[in-house]
Structure 1
């Protein structure tokens, strides 16, 4: 048996405790160039030795002290000031970590599938409109974006791969286009730094972003024991575990969501699933009223599946669940491309919801016209009334299209329609003598041209929805 040299053994005795000594660690989204939510007690956490005292200090003048638990995890809250920076954030335990170039501003968590994931670079031959100018002027923006790696997991993860990047002509091409255009509007109007955390996976189903408890409410009771090789982004719970749980409970102003295309086949379940997911996330992030703004899926040819039922489910979520809002896209779709290129208007319309309903700005409309009620006339017509149309309705020079009407037999035919006063539309057809029901934009890829005066489009709807 070979003996260890006594000097080497003595050195090992000295350095072994150091080798076993834990390092102070932080999740990847606590790093240089990050953005923290302004005027909040923001959550900060990490790991160290069990029972270790942890000191946190922001160069804006706030401090906090905590201690790790038996597993080495620590978490505390630190008060942030009004928007500004750059600051440093220092965390001291076994090691001292100093985060540089930390900004204080507005933070939004952005999730969903490929239309959220899609960067300013576009997809191959599928471009993002106005991306060239967005990239060209990216050096003039203070936006920071953290893009989390796609990760499916059976167990809840505690960290994720990703880095914060500052807006620049070099970095912006890899930024989520919808989120970036949203952030630019917020930045321009509020004049504050904006942080955007992107955690999205193309083609993902809503079930993948939920936990077992919330899924069981919709009678989803089969869950994977391992990550499947095929379509892990469809499997229940796997993206929630790998791409949401690591962020909990990061302090953010709200959520943005761009998903639904992969759930067209089970649209009848989507309102419940989607609502339960929103409630779950709000609970996880310790804010039951956290704003949640999402994008209506745009017109596209789904073959034999009618996507208007999914859009209807999205609309019902907005109408039923407080502090939610839907950015309309009936005029932005592409019947042959599920990735419409106009993400600039998507981002702008999401920002209108946030600026009005979250930040309290007034004097502008933030939603397209939403069907409110109907009444029948003596001359065999139906008059429709709308919310979010206080200044009236318009087609902006196009023919008014998208309406269908049916009698008691339920056979819908294309309808004539005119815009009247008081945000009303009159609908009729010479083929229907006793009209009962009207629907609008109720197909995969309709010509639908109804807007309010702020040129925000009406979502698809049917008057007999129950």
Structure 2
């Protein structure tokens, strides 16, 4: 009788092992891209006590323990770019992931200008979208678009699926994300994976974790709620989008992040200047892969939103974004001073945004130092009688001469009253003069809510709006 009982227990245990199930987050699936030459995280749940993972690129098998809550996690050593490969997971019940590629993976996030798909929004197209659709057939680009969900507490999964970058796959995908991937893939000649996690009309507080936001709650118009479960909540509730759309991805192997957000916060540059570096640091800490590249897009000029009275809050916000490049490690900014639209907050020229982000990545991340990625940067100025001469960095080959007289420069004297100034390019300098300012003290360029920038270096990259004065100075510092 004892022998039969022992045999029965052993048989039941064997059956349980054979029936052990594995559950994976949606982004671990066939068709995915893993970051090359990395320790790429993979995790999930299982009803067994352990499981094995076999990777076809190196014929290696990993044995992974399952904790008491049914969770497991490990890292896979990935080779140089290539594929397709397979990953087989076995806990009694087998899962095989096929069509797995190894390459470069980027996460793109933010609000509506990052979310804006190739097909555009209603009555708001993406420039050259018909041509982009016609040429969309790059099998080496894979896209994962997360379904938008706000959560009260950190979630461990999200909805979405990997798709090939064909005409159907790109239609609803971020134009900036896809066009950035296209630039990278064509230059690097490796598979590229883009994960889109963006939602229009959202503020930066939504994308911050509770641990980072709580220190700034008193300064923000949105307040933390304290739900007792992972429930749906408002997209602008603090931490809601971090919980629902970033936390599930933490640990997935990425090369870097692209960020396009700020329209919802453009009237509070001081607050943004404080939380932006904190959010970036927090994301980097959670991913635990060092100070990965974090490249962002400067807000484009437009006058579709309310602005300040004495000085343009939009210009101050752009100034804050520009200055953040010099205070946050391993960041870069795509300037869009020439790519806005006067009455539309979603400018059509997403190809320019993506190309400039790609140039930053190719130079700073991938080592193509011959690729120029930055426009003229105000260095200093001198005064010669009634003339004020602006000098620039990032203009070694000179500045591009104005094709028509520029209306974007202003001069002021000691009275701090600005008047339009005539501007003339001379080498890598701009000479300003105004009949109404005989003794100039300060200059400004494109420092308004709505402008169309026209100052470029010879390589064709635009200068950001800037000012030489610190009148009406906000709390954040200048370069």
1:340 deviation in Å?
0.7
- Structure 1 segment 77-226 matched on structure 2, within 5 A: 77-220=75-218, 222-226=223-227
Report the CA distance shift for 1:447/1:344 in structure 2 as closer, same or farther (over 3 A).
closer
Are positions 1:409 and 2:412 aligned together? Answer: no
1:420 deviation in Å?
1.6
Question: Secondary structure of 1:353's partner?
Answer: helix
- Structure 1 segment 282-293 matched on structure 2, within 5 A: 282-293=284-295
1:243 deviation in Å?
0.6
Matched residues in 1 for 2:244 and 2:307: separation?
33
The answer on whether the counterparts of 1:401 and 1:447 sit within 8 Å (CA) in structure 2 is no
The answer on whether the counterparts of 2:301 and 2:452 sit within 8 Å (CA) in structure 1 is no
Matched residues in 2 for 1:130 and 1:107: separation?
25
List per-residue Cα deviations over 1:342-382 (Å, max 9, x = no partner). Answer: 111111110000000000012121012122222222x1322
Question: Secondary structure of 1:447's partner?
Answer: coil
1:123 deviation in Å?
0.7
Report the CA distance shift for 1:419/1:63 in structure 2 as closer, same or farther (over 3 A).
farther
Matched residues in 1 for 2:465 and 2:123: separation?
29
- Structure 1 segment 238-387 matched on structure 2, within 5 A: 238-301=240-303, 302-305=305-308, 306=312, 307-377=314-384, 379-387=385-393
The answer on whether the counterparts of 1:115 and 1:258 sit within 8 Å (CA) in structure 2 is yes
Matched residues in 2 for 1:96 and 1:293: separation?
39
Of 427, 431, 450, which aligns to 1:426? 431
1:63 deviation in Å?
3.1
Matched residues in 2 for 1:177 and 1:395: separation?
31
Report the CA distance shift for 1:234/1:397 in structure 2 as closer, same or farther (over 3 A).
same
Of 46, 52, 57, which aligns to 1:60? 57
The more displaced of 400-409 and 318-327 is 400-409
Report the CA distance shift for 1:408/1:22 in structure 2 as closer, same or farther (over 3 A).
farther
Matched residues in 2 for 1:231 and 1:48: separation?
29
Q: How many residues align?
A: 449
Matched residues in 1 for 2:356 and 2:77: separation?
31
Matched residues in 2 for 1:343 and 1:403: separation?
26
TM-score, structure 2 length as denominator? 0.89
Question: Secondary structure of 2:166's partner?
Answer: coil
CA RMSD of aligned residues (A): 2.3
Question: Secondary structure of 1:252's partner?
Answer: coil
1:115 deviation in Å?
0.9
The answer on whether the counterparts of 1:182 and 1:348 sit within 8 Å (CA) in structure 2 is yes
Report the CA distance shift for 1:233/1:411 in structure 2 as closer, same or farther (over 3 A).
farther
Matched residues in 2 for 1:329 and 1:403: separation?
17
Report the CA distance shift for 1:280/1:398 in structure 2 as closer, same or farther (over 3 A).
farther
1:56 deviation in Å?
1.4
1:60 deviation in Å?
0.4
Matched residues in 1 for 2:208 and 2:408: separation?
35
Matched residues in 1 for 2:380 and 2:392: separation?
7
1:396 deviation in Å?
5.6
Matched residues in 1 for 2:218 and 2:185: separation?
41
The answer on whether the counterparts of 1:89 and 1:99 sit within 8 Å (CA) in structure 2 is yes
Question: Secondary structure of 2:167's partner?
Answer: coil
Q: What's the counterpart of residue 36 of structure 2?
A: 38
Gaps of 5+ in 1: 1-13
Q: What's the counterpart of residue 4 of structure 1?
A: none
Q: What's the counterpart of residue 405 of structure 2?
A: 399
Report the CA distance shift for 1:395/1:201 in structure 2 as closer, same or farther (over 3 A).
farther
Question: Secondary structure of 2:326's partner?
Answer: helix
Question: Secondary structure of 1:345's partner?
Answer: helix
Matched residues in 1 for 2:378 and 2:65: separation?
54
Report the CA distance shift for 1:220/1:110 in structure 2 as closer, same or farther (over 3 A).
farther
List per-residue Cα deviations over 1:228-277 (Å, max 9, x = no partner). Answer: x9992322111111111000111100000111111112122212211111
The answer on whether the counterparts of 2:151 and 2:232 sit within 8 Å (CA) in structure 1 is no
Matched residues in 2 for 1:266 and 1:276: separation?
16
Matched residues in 2 for 1:63 and 1:384: separation?
62
Matched residues in 2 for 1:387 and 1:141: separation?
40
